[in-house]
Structure formats: C-alpha cells, structure tokens
Structure 1
Amino acid sequence: MCGIIAILGSHDVADRLVDGLRRLEYRGYDSAGVATVHDGRIDRRRAEGKLVNLARKLAGDPLPGLVGIAHTRWATHGAPTEDNAHPHAAGRVTLVHNGIIENFKPLRDELIADGRVFTSQTDTEVVAHLIDRELAAGHDPESAVRRVLPRLHGAFALAVLFQDHPDLLIGARLGSPLVLGHGEGEGEGEIYLGSDALALAPLTQKIAYLDEGDWVVIRRGGATVYDRDNRPVDRPVTLSGITGALIDKGNHRHFMQKEIYEQPVVVAQTLSSYLRPVEEQVALPDLGFDLSRIGRVAIVACGTASYVGAIGKYWIEQLARVPVEVDVASEFRYREPVLGPDMLGLVISQSGETADTLAALRHMKAEGVTVAGIINVPTSSMAREVDLLLPTHAGPEIGVASTKAFTCQLAVMAALAVNLARARGRLNPAEEAEIVRQLAEVPAAMNAALAHDAEIEAMAPTIAGARDVLYLGRGPDYPLALEGALKLKEISYIHAEGYAAGEMKHGPIALIDDQVPVVVIAPSGPLFDKTVSNMQEVRARGGKVVLISDADGLAQAGDGLLASIEMPRVHPLIAPLVYAVPVQLLAYHVAVAKGTDVDQPRNLAKSVTVE
C-alpha cells in the first residue's frame, strides 16, 4: 500500500526522502512524488511509474528545502497518472495521504459549491482543500487541522506542509499506520514521519508509534502528540532495531526467490520460539487466559494468510477437537457472526496493518472475544491490540507475493494447535513429543525441497504457455492448492484455480482438456489413494498432470505425467510447510519465464491498509 516519509531537517531533505521511498517500494505503488518548502513556497515533483522516473526528474530539476514530504501511491480513487500522484496541493497546503476518505464525494461537492477547483480525481485532494479553507478563514495551521480531522471518515495517515510555515510539519493517523522518528547523531534535532520504521531506519532508530486517532505537531523545538480528543499525550520512544542498510537481493535474481530460500532459516527461528526440545513440548507466550476454556475458534485473515487459517482449521479440529470457523476478513463483520465468551479469535497478518483484518479484530474485541494474533511485525497495530501476540520471525518480506511469511505463520499455527490440544486434554506427553520431533525436522525437509529448484525451473516453460491452470489437493493440501493457484495468478497473470480433489467431478472437470495443466499436491499418506484416483479422472480426459509427491507416491502414480516434482517423505502434519516450497518455486519460475515483474506484480500492494 501507499508509503509516506516526511522530514523536518537541518539540511536539504529531497534526496533522503527519495531514499526513504526506496525502502517502501516493497509495499507496492504506481506513482511517486516529493514536495519541499523553500523561499516561501512549496514545490513538487511527481511522476508515474517507478521511482527511477521521479529520481530522473529531481536530477534535472532539484528541490531544495529543509522540510519535505514524499509518497508512493497505490491507486484507489483515480488512475495512476501524474495529476493523481501525491503530494496534493491546495492554496498554501500540500500533503500526502495513505488510506481512503470514504466521505470524499460529499466533501468534494461541498468544496466545489464553495468555489474550490480540483485538479485530480483523488479523495486526498479534498483534505488539502479543507485545511486550506480553514487557513483562509483565519485559523492557524494547528487549529485548521484540528477542525478538519473529525470531518474525515475512513482510514488515513497524513503528513502536511504549510507554505507560510517552513519550520512546521503536521501528521495524523486513523486506521493507517504512522510512526514518529527522533533524530540522533548527525541528525540530532531532526524529526521524521514514516509509514513504518523501515522507511526511517537510515535516519534514526528512535521511534514512537502513534496510536489510533493521534495527530502530531512537529516544530524545530520538538513534537507534540495529541490524541483523538485533542489532549496532549506522551507516546513512548523505543529503539526499532532495524538496520539502516537497504535490504538487498544478495545473489538472487528477485526478492521472492531470496525469500523462498530463506525459509529453512526463518522457519527454524520461528519454531525455536515455540518448541522446547529438551522437555519435548510446545510452548506459547504467557497467555493471560485459560486455553482449556476455549470451545470455538474463529480465524480471520486475508489472501495467503486466510489459507494459513484454512490449514489451521484441519490441525486444530483434528488435534484439539475444537470447532473452527475461517473467514476472509472483508466478509467477517458483514455476515454478523455469532460470537461468544468461549471463543478464541485468531487474526493472521504479515504486516499487522491489514485494514479488513484489523477491523475484524476490533469487532471481536468489542464483542468480548479474546483475540490472538499471528503477526510478523511486533510493533504493528494488530500486535499492540491483540490479547495474545504469537510472533513469527520471518524478518522483512519485500516480495509482494508472500512466501516466508506464509510458512512461518504455518509454523506458529501448528504450535497453537498442539498447545490447544494439550490444554484440552487431547494430547498425551508421548504424542506431543512426537509432534515436536516432526516440527523440528521441518527446516531440513525444506532444504531438501529446495534441492529440486533446478528441475522445477526446467519444467516451468511448459506451464508458462498455459491460459488456465488447476491445482488439486485433499485435506490440508486443499488450502495449499488454493495458495498455489493464488501465487501463480499473482505473479504470472495466468488464470489459476485451486480445488478440493474430490470436487472435480462435481463441475470443474468440465474445464479439463489437453491445454490445461493440472498441478496435484499429493504426499503419500492416508489421503494419497483418493487423491490419485481424482488425478486419474483428470488424465482420462486428456489433462496434463504435474504431480508433487514423495518417492513412494511418484513410484505408485508417476506414469504418464507432464512432469513430476519429488519431495522428501514427511509426516502429514508438516507436509503443508514442506510442500509450500515447490508450489512457490513453480509460480516463481513460471513468472520469470513469462517476463513479469515478480517482486511488484501489477495492481498489487504488499500491505493493504484500506478496506
């Protein structure tokens, strides 16, 4: 999603603002811009497309100034054109905005009736006009912002410049993250705003996280934070611990490839937080509540994270015998779910800022539900609001298509399922010890899966020419089939669908012909024979099958295939973590063969902070 960085500095800020935007590229964007205050006026540079286009403009026409704002935009209202790119200006006000102003249309109509002229199609421009109109009515900048904020409905993070106040910067957040940075070392006395701590890492590690509804007035003497009731408040300054070095791809061609290869390490790091190998137990952080009282679980997430929830449903119901509901977050509140005090809510998010999931979290808490969160960013909004934080340790994930975050989330989900089963009296010590041993083997099994990368790369061109691809799986491999289809769609732009293998004969088999590759995920085990039977139905109708299985499975069913991908033999519990690797590699290599933008696929954003 859109990215913000702002600096009230001691020397020219434009180059540093662009450097901050580079660190936010992973969020996804389609235009970018910078504005500074200098010699009593505000100047802007904006450009469509990648940051290189903005950098080229700045190289030819630099922007001096000690205070400035910058933005990468992911289009919502209005096409990704230069006119719609941020920063937006009205009179003496220029600002950048993440999020959506839901009531922008009546506000725009009101402003047009008042004689205001708009130059963009965005919802953001109304905010600039509203603040400028307050200035024209005689209010100072602080009062103008204070009067406008209550009129904005939706989600926003704002950074605002004022033409007549070169030593002033105002920020605000509601439903969209914003952090305040305090200069240190050579930047002592400087103050910064950013969408996340990563954007500010080269500038400072001294970070204060603004709470929901906060707004901040930044002057040369320091920053004053106000809550949503306009009362001055102190937000604690913490050290972000994020290195100032730009994250790079190392020897890998893309961030996605690098992050696929990081999985054995980061999954091991994540599991080490939950496994007690000496005691042969799975442990969770201090709960603060009794897991044994949980009678139901509601899992809420979006996209890839929702498939983690779907796999978790199999694990929790099989191990703990607790009923589980899984909802996509954008639908959860609107179906008016039946909630209760015996329920554990569970939200899953890489960023911890996903707007729909955050709204679902708040809805559950308002209904008295205890909520846990599987989250990768421990300083995020969700991480601060859940009753129980279950952190993953994937590190920053730059590729838009989630890979290592997915498998780390699965690792935590498995730990939660085992802990819930133990608390409910469904696991004896010997059974738990066996699960601990199986989970401890995941990193090595993932390494073994990665060893087949070259084979997957070699077969990718046979899939790259397809118009449609189907993925099949049973049990926990059914959600993995959904995830495989999503990955392929996201980065190769090939239409793909995932199905429960047994459902093929209930309709989807009509799609099968010799032009439709079918990827079958079928580790040997209790569901293997049934899955292979469904695969044979596909082959009998001319379908070209790619079978992902272990040596036993391939020996039993490997004749007449378009291709096969051999996996190590693993316990069914950990199969989704291990089989995620070939699913990801297949999507990656197909996308590379097609020449698409793997790390920043079209129309997608890493962190979706609007509903």
Structure 2
Amino acid sequence: MNATERGIREQFPLWDKLVMNGVRSRAGLVHVVVGCGTSVHIADSIAATLNMNGVLARAVPGNEWTRRRDNYVPATIAPHVVALSRSGESTETVAAAEVSRAAGLGLTAFCCAPGSALCHNADEVVLADTHPEEGIVMTASASLMLLMGLRYAGVAVGPETTRAAETLLRAADPLLSEVVAGRSHFVFLGAGALYGVAREGALKLQEMSLSQTEAHHPLEYRHGPISLIDDRSCVIMLYHPDTIGEEAQLARELMAKGARVLGIGGPGDIELPVDGPADVRPLLCLPVLQLLGEYVARQRGLDTLAPRHLTKVVTIA
C-alpha cells in the first residue's frame, strides 16, 4: 500500500476532528465559491448544497473570478466569496482572494495550511489537518473541504456520516478491481450536488492513471456523449435518490451498449448501497472515487505519488 492509498483509507478520523468555530453562510447574501482544479469541483458541490439550503450560490474557477467577475455575478451584486485551497498558495486562488478583498467583498477561506497567503487575505478561515502523507493528488484534503462546505451550508454532518462513508469504502474495496478490469474509458455521472463530485472523480482517475475520463449530468449523457460507449467503457453512476428511476433506465441502456456500470446507490452490474440522506451523499461517495483512481493506476503500473506533469501546488510566476 503506497502513501496515496493510506491517505484515502485513513482520512476518516480527520473528518471527526474538523471544527468550524461557528463559521456559517450568510443569509441573504449571494455566495461565490472559488477554487482551481479539484477545489473548483468541490466548490461546485458546495454551491449546489448552499442553494438547496436557501443561499444563492455558484462556483467559479479562480482565474475566471479574477478576470471576468461580471460574467458570473452582475456588477451590481456584492457577493460573499468562499475560497478553497489545500495549500493556500495556489496562484489563481490567491489572486481571486486579493481582487475580492480589493473590491470590498467578504471572504471565507477553506484551507489546510495555516499562515498561507490565502489565509492572510481572508476575513475568516476554516482549517483542517490533512493526511500527513498526502502528496500531489488531493484526497483527504478534498474530502475535508467538501465537509467544510456542507457544514457551512447548514448540513448536519457528524460521526454517523463518517461511519457511513467508511462502511461504503469497505464495501467497495473488494469490487473495484473487477469494475475497472479491461476498461479504458471512464464516465462519471451525477446530478445536483453529486455533479461536482462526479467531475472530481473523473479528474482524480485521469491524473492518477492517465486514463480517458469524462463527467456529465446523467440525462445529458444521451445527448451526444453516449456515442463513445462500447465494451471499453466503465460508467460510475452516482445515483440521486430523487431521480433513481430515470437514472436506472439510463444505466440499463449503457449496459446494453457494452458498458460496465458501477451503481453507487442504485442499479448496475455492480451495486453499492449508500446509507445516508441526499445532502451528504457527495461526501459519502468521494473516498470510493479516490480509491477507484488508485486501482486503475495500479492496473496500469503507474505511481500515483508522481503523476505526470503535475505539481503539488500550482504557482505561476
């Protein structure tokens, strides 16, 4: 077991240690959730959760917010900004924080690095200790920032959620090698707040195993992307309890076209039951998607501690 895998399997005690110190979303304010790479995918799930809990929000990549804020929120609106960065030093996220502060906007930072540039530019900070062996690939830190976002939105996430996530990972573990065997095209489908996690699953597997991946809202998949489905395809369906029937129908169509379907929370060639309400499902599913990337990388003989062309912190001179 390498350090990446240990970080995935050993992340759960870190969830239970997270303290929000009273940091909560602002009622009546528009929120913009900013990040880059993994963090912007997590931001997408956080923004959807904020909306579900009555707080108007959207996710924006860091440089987009810096360069063209008025393309995402009208210039007449002064949103509260939530910025996500594991290191607190990612150039684009720090720049987004700096321009937000210069514009007089309030800023909350979710981070794993006290004293970082992002923290210095924030009005308030939520910090978490990530796994000590976490390398370039974001695993425990991604889960922790999603957990911060769910609690920030007012979702009750406690030890029972941690236990449910551990149970789901243990159930998935012996099945993942079978799911990915012989497959080279990977599709992640998720609706609502699960869409950001689907995107993160696709990114995780792509950077860990150098595989062809994509992510979509489930029913959008029929509108063009389904043309790529064949017996090389593996589809990871993150079932939303509100739409399980229509998503199951799509899964059956994909299986009939040759895909192997991992149904997380619903039907598939391999099925994993999910024990938890809809608002915590993104967090419950995320460790399984992280471990899936490690299994594909292992089958391809790749080292997830040294993914090609990547660095732990993206800084631009």
Q: TM-score w.r.t. structure 1 length? A: 0.49
Write 1 or 2 for the structure with the bigger share of helix: 2
- Equivalent-residue separation in structure 2 for 1:307 and 1:402 (angstroms): 12
- Equivalent-residue separation in structure 2 for 1:453 and 1:255 (angstroms): 19
- Equivalent-residue separation in structure 2 for 1:413 and 1:336 (angstroms): 22
- Equivalent-residue separation in structure 2 for 1:311 and 1:388 (angstroms): 21
Q: Contact 2:134–2:140 (CA<8 Å) still a contact in 1?
A: no
* Counterpart residue identity of residue 325, structure 1: R
2:281: which partner in 1?
A: 575
Describe how 1:18-29 pairs up with structure 2 within 5 A.
Answer: none
Q: Contact 2:179–2:260 (CA<8 Å) still a contact in 1?
A: no
Aligned: 1:376 with 2:118: no
- Out of 299, 302, 325, which is 2:58 matched to? 325
- Equivalent-residue separation in structure 1 for 2:256 and 2:178 (angstroms): 22
2:158: which partner in 1?
A: 439
Deviation at 1:383, TM superposition (A): 0.9
- Equivalent-residue separation in structure 2 for 1:334 and 1:397 (angstroms): 35
Q: Contact 1:473–1:501 (CA<8 Å) still a contact in 2?
A: yes
- Out of 298, 305, 320, which is 2:39 matched to? 305
Q: Contact 2:179–2:234 (CA<8 Å) still a contact in 1?
A: no
- Equivalent-residue separation in structure 1 for 2:288 and 2:153 (angstroms): 25
CA deviation map 1:352-404 (0-9, x unaligned): 00000000111111111111111111111111220111212325453211110
Aligned: 1:260 with 2:8: yes
Aligned: 1:540 with 2:275: no
Deviation at 1:461, TM superposition (A): 5.1
- Equivalent-residue separation in structure 1 for 2:77 and 2:223 (angstroms): 39
Aligned: 1:529 with 2:263: no
Q: Contact 1:456–1:565 (CA<8 Å) still a contact in 2?
A: no
Q: Contact 2:7–2:131 (CA<8 Å) still a contact in 1?
A: no
- Equivalent-residue separation in structure 2 for 1:363 and 1:533 (angstroms): 46
Q: Contact 2:16–2:158 (CA<8 Å) still a contact in 1?
A: no
Higher CA-based Rg: 1
Deviation at 1:542, TM superposition (A): 2.9
* Counterpart residue identity of residue 394, structure 1: T
- Out of 23, 26, 33, which is 1:291 matched to? 26
Q: Contact 1:284–1:390 (CA<8 Å) still a contact in 2?
A: no
- Out of 305, 312, 315, which is 2:49 matched to? 315
- Equivalent-residue separation in structure 2 for 1:565 and 1:491 (angstroms): 24
2:302: which partner in 1?
A: 596
Aligned: 1:513 with 2:249: no
- Equivalent-residue separation in structure 2 for 1:548 and 1:404 (angstroms): 20
Describe how 1:170-189 pairs up with structure 2 within 5 A.
Answer: none
Aligned: 1:608 with 2:314: yes
Q: TM-score w.r.t. structure 2 length? A: 0.92
Per the alignment, in what secondary structure is the counterpart of residue 534 of structure 1?
A: helix
Describe how 1:420-569 pairs up with structure 2 within 5 A.
Answer: 435-436=155-156, 438-452=157-171, 454-459=173-178, 462=181, 465-522=182-239, 525-549=241-265, 553=266, 557-558=267-268, 561=269, 564-569=270-275
Describe how 1:80-119 pairs up with structure 2 within 5 A.
Answer: none
- Equivalent-residue separation in structure 1 for 2:180 and 2:237 (angstroms): 18
Give % identity. 25
- Equivalent-residue separation in structure 1 for 2:5 and 2:285 (angstroms): 16
Q: Contact 1:349–1:375 (CA<8 Å) still a contact in 2?
A: yes
Describe how 1:52-91 pairs up with structure 2 within 5 A.
Answer: none
CA deviation map 1:424-451 (0-9, x unaligned): xxxxxxxxxxx53x53312111221232
Q: Contact 2:218–2:247 (CA<8 Å) still a contact in 1?
A: yes
- Equivalent-residue separation in structure 1 for 2:202 and 2:32 (angstroms): 24
- Equivalent-residue separation in structure 2 for 1:516 and 1:403 (angstroms): 24
In the alignment of these two chains, the number of paired residues is: 314
Per the alignment, in what secondary structure is the counterpart of residue 519 of structure 1?
A: strand
For CA contacts below 8 A with separation 6 or more, give which structure has more relative contact order: 2
Per the alignment, in what secondary structure is the counterpart of residue 158 of structure 2?
A: helix
CA deviation map 1:94-141 (0-9, x unaligned): xxxxxxxxxxxxxxxxxxxxxxxxxxxxxxxxxxxxxxxxxxxxxxxx
Write 1 or 2 for the structure with the bigger share of strand: 1
- Equivalent-residue separation in structure 2 for 1:395 and 1:467 (angstroms): 30
- Equivalent-residue separation in structure 2 for 1:353 and 1:594 (angstroms): 32
Q: Contact 1:512–1:543 (CA<8 Å) still a contact in 2?
A: yes
- Equivalent-residue separation in structure 1 for 2:133 and 2:104 (angstroms): 33
The alpha-carbon distance between structure 1 residues 450 and 495, as it changes in their structure 2 partners (threshold 3 A), is same
Deviation at 1:342, TM superposition (A): 4.0
- Equivalent-residue separation in structure 2 for 1:404 and 1:339 (angstroms): 36
Deviation at 1:609, TM superposition (A): 1.6
Structure 1 outlier segments of 4+, above 3 Å: 338-342
Per the alignment, in what secondary structure is the counterpart of residue 12 of structure 2?
A: helix
1:412: which partner in 2?
A: 148
- Equivalent-residue separation in structure 2 for 1:593 and 1:522 (angstroms): 26
Deviation at 1:345, TM superposition (A): 0.6
Unaligned runs of 5+ in 1: 1-252, 275-282, 419-434
Per the alignment, in what secondary structure is the counterpart of residue 547 of structure 1?
A: strand
